[in-house]
A = this chain, B = another copy of it.
């Protein structure tokens, strides 16, 4: 039985060498690393990132948090709900604009945020990359994200 099926054009890129899978596995490995570091705090990685964003940005509308994470309300809303249930943040309608919901850390949220403040440094250490390599990789990934998003936008015309 030949391994060739049909009249392929020879574009048999081995799965192991595909960028998508490399990205996929690296992302999962990162998530697993965060899981280990955060499991004592009852936080997941996305929840941790929300805390970081609120610590850096201060009180923000749901849209603001979502934009920082590259997500939409359908993902962020339940995420914020769970964090609110843990007493780490509050949500209240903005007085100026009744559509927007302002998200703000509670004292407990700020305290927990301070506790896990050094997690990024531990992640950097666990990554085995020095500062320069990490910065370069981050830049490459940001450019890749932008290029891919651009392609998606072009295909799916909005507005």
Interface residues of A (CB under 8 A from B): 1, 3, 5-30, 32-34, 36, 45, 49, 52-53, 55-56, 58, 68-70, 110-111, 113-114, 117-118, 120-121, 123-129, 131, 134-135, 137-138, 140-145, 147-149, 151-152, 155-156
A19 to B26, CA, bound (A): 11
Instruction: Assess whether B114 is in contact with A127, with CB atoms less than 8 Å apart.
Output: no
Question: Are A15 and B53 CB-contacts (below 8 A) given A8-B117, A33-B152, A114-B1?
Answer: yes
By beta carbon, the residue of chain B nearest A58 is B3
Instruction: Assess whether B29 is in contact with A145, with CB atoms less than 8 Å apart.
Output: yes
A135 to B123, CA, bound (A): 24
Q: Which residues of B contact A142 (CB under 8 A)?
A: 22, 25-26
Q: Which residues of B contact A16 (CB under 8 A)?
A: 68
Q: Which residues of B contact A135 (CB under 8 A)?
A: 17
A117 to B11, CA, bound (A): 6
Q: Which residues of B contact A120 (CB under 8 A)?
A: 10-11, 13, 18, 20
